[in-house]
Structure 1
Amino acid sequence: MRTLFDRLIGSLVFKIAFAIIVVETILFGLFGGYYVNYFGAEIDRRIAEQISTPGRLIQQEQLKVSILSDAEQMELLLGRHLQQAFAVGFDGTIYHSTDPLMIGASISSLPDFPTEQLRADMTEPTLFTVDDDTGSSMVSITPIFALNANQPFMYVYLKVSTKGLEESQRQMQSVLIIGSILCVLLTSALIFLFTQHTVLKRLITAAQFVNKIQVGKLSSRLTPMGRDEIGILERGLNAMAESLERRTQQHHAAQNALRDSEERFRDFTLSSADWYWEMDSDFKIAFASYKFYQLIEEINGSPQGQSFDKLGLHPEHPEGWQYLQRHLDEHTAFYNVEFSWTSRDGEKQFGRINGVPVFALDGSFNGYRGTGSNITDQKRAAEEQQALQRQLATSQKLEAVGQMAGGVAHEFNNCLAGILSFAEVARAKIDDPERVKEYLDHVISLGERATGVADQLLMFSRRRIDQPKNVRVESIFAEMEKLLVTLLEHRIDLQIWADEADLHTRVDPTQLSACILNLAINARDAMPDGGTLQISCSSADIPPLAQRDTDEDEDIYPPEAEGQFVVITVQDTGTGIPEDVIDHIFEPFFSTKEPGKGTGLGLSIVHSWVEEAHGFINLESVEGEGTTFSIYLPRSEPGAEPEDEVDEIGVFPGNGERVLIVDDEQALRTTAQIILEDAGYRTEIAKSTEEALVILQTSTDDAAFDVIVTDVVLPGRSGPQLIIEALRQNPRYGVVFMSGYPARSRKELDNLLGNYVFVKKPFRPGKLQKAVHDALKLASERAQSN
């Protein structure tokens, strides 16, 4: 019952009806009150006029004053509620009255008579109301004047009870109230019926329509009943329903697509070899695909809720996790972060992850999403490829060395023949010191020449340190001419010249020679029937990109090239390079030669070295006519290159310092011992690391060694390992390393030997003495810094 009541009270019908009744009650109350007051006043006016009329008529002499003594006539004039009617003289005597008993009486005998109203100056009728025992009454007093009199000589007194007036007013009020109520009810009913038909019915229909939409009947539609506000609402509801139906269909289609996408993504994640992961704003793993979950669970349990550095993965880069954390903190994307782990079977595996940040629509950070993959096979394939590349590079070097074999053998034979001949002649002329010195100078010169040939061989095996120098290009041509003549055979005409004599560039001269040699060998192979090979050098001044001729320079020079260059040109008249392969000739392992004729690494090595020297290569080739390689190297000013060679013996003499010489080659041990003892050092020799360590351990403090001169490569433990053990016993040793097979780069040499003196074999006596002197100086500096 209460629910029904609540629904009734809360319904719009009740509210509208209640509002109508309240409004109409107020309106009719206002209008009814107004009309009740109006009609009451009108009745009062009419009664007052009726009461005062007989007196006025008598005053105007239209009626005789004697009519006051006729009760029937007065009742006809004033009604049945007439109480008193008489004429009072100026002296207070009643002369005429409807009550005969009062004629001749004095008004003083009448109780409660308003004597004060009978004034001599009274000119107009007076009307007032009095209350007495009989109730409320209305009294009218009208003065009567004699002809040309200034004051009344008589007064007409009329008293009428108001009981009839009050009854009339009550009847009128009852009629108005009942009429108002009937009007309110009738008007409310009419307004309600009109509202019910024009508004409520349509609103109820709209509400039912909304309920249908709410339960999913989106195809329902309203029939607009007009162009009023409710009609606009009905059309708006129809448009809303159409939009909802269309969006619901789109939503269902999107849901179906999303479901298909999720199923597709799930299938991909289950079948893909890659991994997919997601982390929240606290950098904790919130989602991991099956493969990633399986991987982490195998090595470290569930990845859920863990950060990357807690998953049991090890970064391959020294700053792997710091690099990753820096990107995470900055909310930026990261790529190719590599790491490793150990599988259950103990095998090392490798992986790579990528990630991008995820932001909400308001810009707040939500976390990361990313992918990962197992790159173990790629790593191993890359290692195998690198090994294969090294093998192929070695093959190419051996091929080049094989091609050089004839020329190198010829050079070595010439050097050895000269050395043996001059040595024999020197021995025969032992009594002639001047002649012996001359012959020995020739022996030394031939030995240095043989050392240069050995340097070229070491360069081709990549066992030589890059040593840039300020070189004159024409001198490099002169040194290579004999070797090139031997390699190119007599069927090829070699022409070498320089446009300017003093063209200098700062490069490793051996590398430059190798570069020219590689290009010459390729040119020889491109001219199987003979031809002409021209090797020349010139200068070129390359303007900045903004100042170049747009028709020529941009096609010849790279955009970043600028300044003065030395141009070394190698031009042949061979078969030329086909257009379909000319863009690939500098790629590693690309070769147009027959199998077994080349590895395809020569031009790749040339290209790499030229770029390392901050230069570039231009290539022009016409098939059937020949090829021209132009090597551009930065030009340098002529100047004296600092020389570190020390040819004179005794420039750096010793002062009795003890030196331990360690080398597995007896001839070198003996030679080094003689050189250092002649310079004033005390020496002792050892042929292995173990023997050297025994000597160092048995030496006393009074006879301690000052410097250790050791070969880098020794049987058993190496020279650096010997030094490590020795410095543990005494960190004040000076150290000199010797080797004929230095490391591949200066950086690698520094990492291997540290901050110690190095001397390359074969060495001159003065150079070895200087090396020992420098080692003593370094040892003293270390001792002072400690």
Structure 2
Amino acid sequence: MKKLLDRMIGSLVFKIALAIVIVETILLGLFGGYYVQYFGAEIDRRIAEQISTPGRLIQDEQLKISILSDADQMKLLLGDHLQQAMAIGFDGTIYHAIDPFIIGNSITVVPDFPVDQLRSDLTEPTLFTTDDQVGRSIVSITPLFSLNANQPFMFVYLKVSTKGLEESQRQMQSVLLVGSAMCILMTSALIFLFTQQTVLKRLITAAQFVNKIQLGKLSSRLTPMGRDEIGTLERGLNAMAESLERRTQQHQIAQDALRDSEERFRDFTLSSADWYWEMGANLKIAFASYKFYQLIEEINGSPQGQSFDRLGLTSEHPEGWHYLQRRLDAHMAFQNVEFSWVSRKGEKHYGRINGVPVFSLDGRFNGYRGTGSNITAQHRATEEQQALQRQLATSQKLEAVGQMAGGVAHEFNNCLAGILSFAEVARAKIDDRERVKEYLDHVISLGERATSVADQLLMFSRRRIDQPTNVRVQSIFSEMEKLLMTLLEHRIELQIWSDEPELFTRVDPTQLSACILNLAINARDAMPDGGTLQISSRSVDIPPLAQRDPDEDEDSYPNEIAGEFVVITVQDTGTGIPDDIIGNIFEPFFSTKEPGKGTGLGLSIVHSWVEEAHGFINVESVEGEGTTFSVYLPRSEAGSEAALRVDEIHDFPGNGERVLIVDDEQALRTTAHIILEDAGFRTATAKSTEEALEVLIQAEKDDPFDVILTDVVMSGRSGPQLVIEALRSNPRYGVVFMSGYPARSRKELDKLLGNYVFVKKPFRPSQLQKAIHDAIALRAERQRT
């Protein structure tokens, strides 16, 4: 037993385990006391939070104060150690208590009550401990305030004994101490067993390995168990054994390596996807791997004894073979020489070769060795990538033009709104010469800022708010016929018809008219010597891709399109479109017209709008004979929706309602002010969101506003941001948005705010008056619900 004990004490395992146990005991001793104190403090904090909770909830009106008279409820909240719960008035009268016999009495009847804590300047809950005949207790006093009062009118008094809580705290501390001691014992045992198994066992195995080496068993090897010091020793012993074995078997290993190298090269040559070749000093092919031999034999017979330019390969660069020949003649390395060939199936493939010169020890040139690769897949992937990059560039160009168009159109629509509104007001005041002159001066000033391309730029930038409705195509044709006859002049014959008069599609009628107008103008310009323009409509049912007739032209319809469509065809007998530019006609600013006779935006606008309407457009053209544009739009059923024409909108006078007009454009503020004041409304104006909020705050006390009329996009914070803040302080405002270029779509505004009225710039006085009336009606409906 003594020998075993001495061996254990003297072993490395025991010393390591003992050292770890000592260190662990010290650390647990240091941190154990800290955690005992920490958990004690945490328990005190939770007790304080628990006792303060009822008073805070009563202060926040989340609990009724009468709960203080319900002893059962209070014990559920604060536990069985609750001693007292009272609601005390500022004069010391007890209004609620768990002891019903003291209700209505003064606090003087309560023994040891801390009267000095009920102070008129107490504004926050207070918490303190007391020692009395019962023992140590925690007391919470929470002041209660009435609306706009500076001093409390009542106090919530709670008292809880800490006797049971202190006992729980001592039990938790005991558990922590016992648990720490158990952790030390278990950790010590695990460390001892782990060290015994991982250190001593590996040292014994290493000693046995050394004995085998001494006996001449050089093939023996250790299995390293890790990257620690013993693992380093094990790998060192293995390296020693390998060195001894290598020295005794060096000759045999060299022979085996040479045989393996030859077999490996042959296997690589047969299995590799690349090609290997070798040529002699005469620059003729002397060796070719199987795949390279197979490739050349397929297109030009055996490659043996031939030079590269005689193998039937085609260089992908004009100077390809000349460059290769110059490098070969100069005995220089070459890389990435590309070529192509056509297989027996008629498919074009691409390859690439590399080579290095070979010299003997005395510097004599012996030829070349090199590799080759089939890069057909890479070449096709590069072509697809380039096509995608071209599409991306086109998309970026469209986006850039769209951003520019939106800003320009916004400015133009502001001008147009002022022009139309001042003209309407001037017509209404025709007898007042001074007022008419003032309004016409405004019209002239605004007209100088506008240009004829405003609507086109606005549509192209996709910042215009569409108002889709069920449109009867024949009605659009009838409305446009007179205008088209004026535009086409007498040299062009106009023919309009429809195979089905009752064809409907759900689009914005203004956008559809603009689409037909753009196509008609292009057709007119393509017939300088006159001709015939035919505009027609029909319906077509496009089946899904899987159900289409394979004999039909695959390019007639996009693959993802299916369903019933209305087809509007615009056909001319003009000069036609050359094949080399027909793929570019829908690009913005692409035009074949002379400078100054076209912006190049017409067809791009049409294409952009048709896609937004979930349709597509086909074009067929024969140079010298004419062009046909076919616009496909989803067909819809006849609906009851009908757009109210401007001429049908009557005046909507006000009755003294107050309207706040917010716009960063002076002309628009002045226009709206005059329109609404003349109609009987009372108005005020603001040029920014900040100024508008100040006006609303000032008017709220005396004469609040009924409606906020604001532009959507303004410098600084936008109109929607203004409305959000205004409704947050007073939800009774009616809201009217106006814009010629809103930053958000109609649907996005609906998600943002919900109940509002929208009026598009430019607007007529009657339209603006109706919008104000609609906003007032919506406000009344909102208040009722």
Normalising by the smaller structure, the TM-score range is 0.3 to 0.5
Give the alignment's TM-score, normalised by structure 2. Answer: 0.41
Q: Based on CA coordinates, which of the two structures has the bigger radius of gyration?
A: 1
Higher relative contact order (CA 8 A, sep 6+): 2
Give the alignment's TM-score, normalised by structure 1. Answer: 0.41
